[in-house]
Amino acid sequence: MPIMKSKHSTLIESFPIVAIGASAGGLESVEAFLKALPPEPGIAFVIIQHLDPTRKGMMSEVIQKFTSLDVISASDQLQIKKNTVYLIPPNKTMSISKRRLYLTTPTESRGMRLPIDFFFTSLAEDLSDESIGIIFSGMGSDGSKGVASIKENSGLVIVQSPESSKFDNMPRSAINSTNPDLVCTPEEMPGHIISYIIRRNSIFHSNKMESRDLISLEKIINLISKSTGHDFSQYKRSTLNRRIERRMNLLKVNTLKEYITLLLKNDKEAFILLKEFLIGVTQFFRDPTVWNQLIDKVLPSILSKLDEGYNFRIWVPACSSGEEAYTIAIALKEAQNKMKKYKNLSFQIFATDLDKESIEKGRKGIYPEFISSDIPPSILKKYFILLDAGYQIHSEIREMVTFAEHNLIQDTPLTKLDFISCRNILIYIQSDMQSKILSLFNFCLNPNGILILGISESIGSNNGFYDTVNSKLRIFRKNPNSKLLPNLQLTSFPKKNISNTKSLFNLNQSKDVFHDSVNSYILENYSPSGIVVNELGEILFISGKIGNYLEPSVGKASMNLFSMIKQDIKNDLAIAFRKAKSTNELVAIHNTKINTISNSSLVDIHVIRITKPEYLKGMFMITFENERISSTSNKKVTKPKKKKGSQSSLIDSLEKELQTTKTELEAALQDMQLSREELMSSNEEMQSSNEELQATNEEITTSKEEMQSLNEELLAVNLELQAKVDAYISINNDFKNLLDSTDIATLFLDNKFRVRRFTKQTSKLFRLIESDIGRPFTDIVNLLNYQELSQDVISVLNTLVPIEKTISTSESLYYSVRIMPYRTIEDKIDGIVITFNEITATKELEFQLRESNAALDEKLHEVNVLLEEKEIILKEVHHRIKNNMGTILSIISIQSDDTKNLEVQEILQDVYGRIYSMMVLYDKLYNSPSLEFISIREYIDTLIKEIVSIFPNASSVDVKLNIQDFDFPSKNLPSFGIIINELITNSMKYGFVNKKSGTITVNLSKKDSKVSFEYMDDGPGFNLQKLSNQARGFGLQLVRILVKQIKGELMIDTSQGSKFSFDFEI
């Protein structure tokens, strides 16, 4: 795969992107398409689906079921990766640039949005020949314009066959708008796409053909020319190469030699390749800036300088299907309306193209509905009529344009032109031929005539023959001083010998040419002058010289017989025409006098309705035969002498009668004319009513479009809902299997306690069958020993408090019953759920456990008796130890009093304190209900008071106790008691020397299993190093040892008095 650069990343792998447009019925096509894809196709897919903009879609979840590829809902500026499917989110318009997706909120109203066209067009512009567009089932015409853009940029266009589409409007519209490369079913498309990409990458990826293939290319051009009559030798080779490569790829042809052989064998392939060369992509108001400039400035300026009645001539070469020609016609009308002073001008637009099918389409003036996205709404309403097949150009605009087959390079050009629009044609033609064509245009244009080229085109070396009106928009004016005589024969290639076309009336081509020539000579030289008209008097055909009888009418040009006939014979001819119309017989008028500038004549007029041949039936033939009776230039008209008598009186009488008849006839004609004017007025009113009805019809059509769009959205929603239903069915199946697998009997009741659903295990407890659904559960026979079931169910529904019980059945089985309210997702109470979980085995174990517990209780009672006896013995031992310690204390006290040695007395006092602390412990143990734990607060309070009272300065020492009461393990109490004794003793002996008073503070607290102890006095403190060398340092060493025994760490601070603290676990 090739690599391309991007502004967002350093290197990006280049790969084809397939855009899929789908609407109503398209989800099934997408499913079939994705299921037919290989696991890793190496392509990215973007699905543009018509979605309801007001709701969050589930399309990604639905489509993910069809494919193993990643399915992602697109986000703004998302980089596209291959082997991934991207979906357009609801209420978004999506485009692509540099392989990134961009999202915008649509501004069009619902029913007028064309998201498929929008994305396809941006894809064609971004990826060119790497773009692939697919149109699936759908209503409307969205996507038709987009696939034409992809085709124009050499991309691949595939359309679902209408026969396989659920709704074939979109596929048929796409087929009509362009010539798709493939029309097939969704299942067949992946294979064609993969094959196309593989061949494109391996063989035809480069557009530069080898030099040895240029001869083959020339052969192909010659074959096309001989088969179709059109020469492409002057077209750019790169353009032709791409078109030929596309055809070869689609036909799976490997070499140009093989393709030439195919062209020789298959005549149709030449015309298919011609269509590839001619890709006529056009649209209304293409490049809107150009048309705004023309309508607002250029055309009004030109038209304002023209004389009244001027015939303004325009040529649009290579007009394709006529969109640009009609756009010019509309622009002229709009520019004419913008003029300050309205002028009665006529416009004649010549639209030519070498593609006969495009010319025929242009003549009809009917275009798909998607053109509404290119045309301003006001213009669309004013100049277009909405039909079932799309939009039709208004007759006023259609009559301004004349379509004809014409080859710009080969055929003789049109001349005396005021305006030429040749946009986006020269870019496909070689530079030498471009210069010749521009020279030709200069010759064809009148002085100051306008030439418009495409945005990407220029006049090149011919700039001396044109003045620039707007260089950016490529609008030029012929230099009136230029005298450029072009070579009108742009190419020497002979035109194809085209068979004679049929005449206006399809005359028999088998007649002898000599016979026709003689008949034509006789008709022109010896037959009377005549005209053929329809029932309204509109002239259809003129034979001979009729200048003596007809003359142009004043004002608006008209071809009506009664507007052009001379006044001398107007009344006689009107009477004859009405008579022939009513009787279907030949009506003759003899010797009617007509005056001309040079003489007077008597004319015989014959009027007859034509009945044969069939194609002239209903028309009228009017002939004029005259004989000159006088000449005002050579002689005077002599009047006969009147005879006297009765003959003269008769003549006078007849003349008077004739005059009276003529007067009456003129009055009758005036009455008829008045009636005709009244009828015309009525006709105008009818036309006004018709316009109102047409406006109503347009409103109804708009509503129809909105309803159609809504219908498409509803179909898409229906498909999503169907997908949800399928998901719910799957979830229901999972839920049923889950309930069955738990082997728990579950009964669902509604608010009226009727059976809603049950699991098959429930049938073991209730005699339930499927037909019992909807019956009250109390009517169902059950095996439960549970009389309160109904009351409990009612209670749960009323209180919303679940009930759980253990019950038995008549078969000696045990169940744990749980009755709960049935809550919906919206937290609404909608019934009751009862579960029955069999616990028979558990219940049997419970019975066995109870028996075991009873036996254990009996053994435990025996143990308790033994423990009570043991406790009594221990208390007795503690009592005796306490008594013995009291005896020891008395001995130590006596000994201390008897000795005179102060050091010995001090040692005895220390021993006394330590033994006393242990005696207090045993006293507490003796009086405590438990031997394992003792209340720590009571113990410390008693111990400290007893120790302090031993010393003479006890009254001057204030003891502050902050003791948290908790059970302290007796196993740690001896060590803890000795620690307190040593600290108190040290403070009393050394801490308050030379002080009248002192304070001792003891803090004890417990958090979880951690105990924190803190002891402080406000004495002078001491030096730890000196103390360690003195005898009294033994007490500190003892404290350290005991703290370590209870797994604590002693902290000493002597900066302000003495402070001892440690933490330990109990």
Q: Which pLDDT tens digit goes with each residue over 309-360?
A: 889 999 999 888 889 999 999 999 998 888 877 778 889 999 998 888 888 8
660 inside domain: no
The Cα 211–Cα 441 span in angstroms is 34
In this structure, are 531 and 416 located in the same domain? no
Q: How far apart are CA 355 and CA 371, in angstroms?
A: 21
Q: What is the pLDDT of residues 505-523, one digit of tens each?
A: 333 333 344 554 555 555 5
* Same domain? 273 vs 285: no
- Which of 184-188, 241-245, 598-602, 741-745 tops mean pLDDT? 184-188
User: What is the predicted pLDDT for the residue at 4?
Assistant: 45
Q: How confident is the model at residue 1003 (pLDDT cuts 50, 70, 90)?
A: very high
pLDDT band with cut points at 50, 70 and 90 for residue 701: low
pLDDT of residue 633: 41
Could you tell me the pLDDT band of residue 2, with boundaries at 50, 70 and 90?
A: very low
User: Residue 457, Cβ neighbours under 10 Å: how many?
Assistant: 18
Q: Which residues pair with 1000 in a beta bridge?
A: 959, 1017
Residue 66 falls inside a structural domain: yes
CA-nearest of 132, 171, 173, 126 to 151 is: 132
CATH number, domain containing residue 336: 3.40.50.150
**pLDDT at residue 922, as a whole number:** 66
Range picked from 22-26, 254-258, 834-838, 1037-1041 for highest mean pLDDT: 834-838
Per the domain annotation, does 1000 fall within a domain?
yes
Q: Give CA separation, 342 vs 295, 324, 337, 338, 382, in Å.
A: 15, 25, 7, 8, 19
Domain closes at, from 634, 652, 681: 634
Comparing C-alpha atoms, which of 154, 96, 146, 93 is closest to residue 121?
146
Nearest to 152 by CA among 250, 277, 241, 238: 277
pLDDT in tens, 31-56: 899 989 988 888 899 999 887 666 66
Percent of the chain's residues with pLDDT above 90: 12
Residue ending a domain, choose from 244, 277, 310: 277
- CA dihedral over 697, 698, 701, 702, signed as positive or negative: negative
The answer to whether the beta carbons of residues 755 and 768 sit under 8 Å apart is yes
Co-location of 528 and 425 in the same domain: no
Which one is predicted more confidently, 210 or 558?
A: 558
Helix H segments across 899-1015?
A: 902-927, 936-950, 973-986
In this prediction the pTM is: 0.45
- In this structure, are 164 and 197 located in the same domain? yes
pLDDT of residue 512: 42
Amino acid 210: pLDDT: 45
Of 814, 762, 764, the C-alpha closest to 786 is 814
pLDDT, position 901: 75
Q: Domain range for residue 175?
A: 3-277
Q: Assess whether 929 and 1041 both reside in one domain.
A: yes
Is 411 inside any structural domain?
yes
Could you tell me if residue 958 is inside a domain?
yes
Are 457 and 520 within one domain? Answer: no
Least confident window among 383-387, 552-556, 632-636, 701-705:
632-636
CATH, residue 944: 3.30.565.10
* Separation between Cα atoms, residue 878 and residue 925, nearest integer Å: 7
Q: Judging by beta carbons within 10 Å of its beta carbon (0-12, 13-18, 19+), is residue 953 exposed, middle or buried?
A: middle
| pLDDT-above-70 percentage for the chain | 82
Of 227, 249, 277, which residue constitutes the final position of a domain? 277
pLDDT, tens digit (0-9, with 9 covering 90-100), for 147-164: 888 887 878 899 999 998
Burial class (CB in 10 A: 0-12, 13-18, 19+), 752: exposed
Amino acid in position 367? Y
Looking at the 3D structure of the chain, how many domains does it have?
Answer: 5
Q: What is the pLDDT of residues 84-137, one digit of tens each?
A: 999 988 888 899 988 889 988 887 665 567 889 889 989 988 888 788 999 998
User: Which tokens in the block code for residue 790?
Assistant: 């109904």
Domain assignment present for residue 530? The answer is yes
Decide if pLDDT at 892 tops 70: yes
Tokens representing 542 are 């003129």
CATH number at residue 788: 3.30.450.20
Instruction: Compute the mean pLDDT over every residue in the chain, rounded to the nearest whole number.
Output: 79
> How far apart are the C-alpha atoms of 653 and 3, rounded to whole Å?
108
Query: Which of 1030 and 293 is assigned the larger pLDDT?
Result: 293
Tokens at residue 922, please?
């045993």
Residue 261 and residue 287 in one domain: no
Residues 155 and 70 in one domain: yes
The reply to whether 260 and 334 lie within a common domain is no
Position 735 scores a pLDDT of 77
Question: For 394-398, what is the mean pLDDT?
Answer: 89
Question: Scanning the structure block, which residue is given the tokens 């005879």?
Answer: 643
What does the radius of gyration of the chain's CA atoms come to, in whole angstroms? 57
CATH number at residue 34: 3.40.50.180
pLDDT digit string, tens, across residues 221-254: 788 777 777 777 777 777 777 778 777 777 777 7
According to DSSP, the residues that pair with 963 across neighbouring strands are 1004
Residue 1058 lies in a domain: yes
CA angle 957/963/967 to nearest 5° reads: 135
For residue 990, pLDDT beyond 60: yes
Phi and psi torsions of 315, nearest 5°:
-125, 130
Is residue 269 domain-shared with residue 323, that is, in the same domain? no
pLDDT per residue over 550-581, tens digit each?
Answer: 887 666 667 888 888 888 788 888 888 888 88
464 with 322, same domain: the answer is yes
- Does 655 map to a domain? no
Same domain, 941 and 1028: yes
pLDDT of residue 861: 82
Judge residue 712's burial from the number of C-beta atoms within 10 Å of its C-beta, 0-12 exposed, 13-18 middle, 19 or more buried. Answer: buried
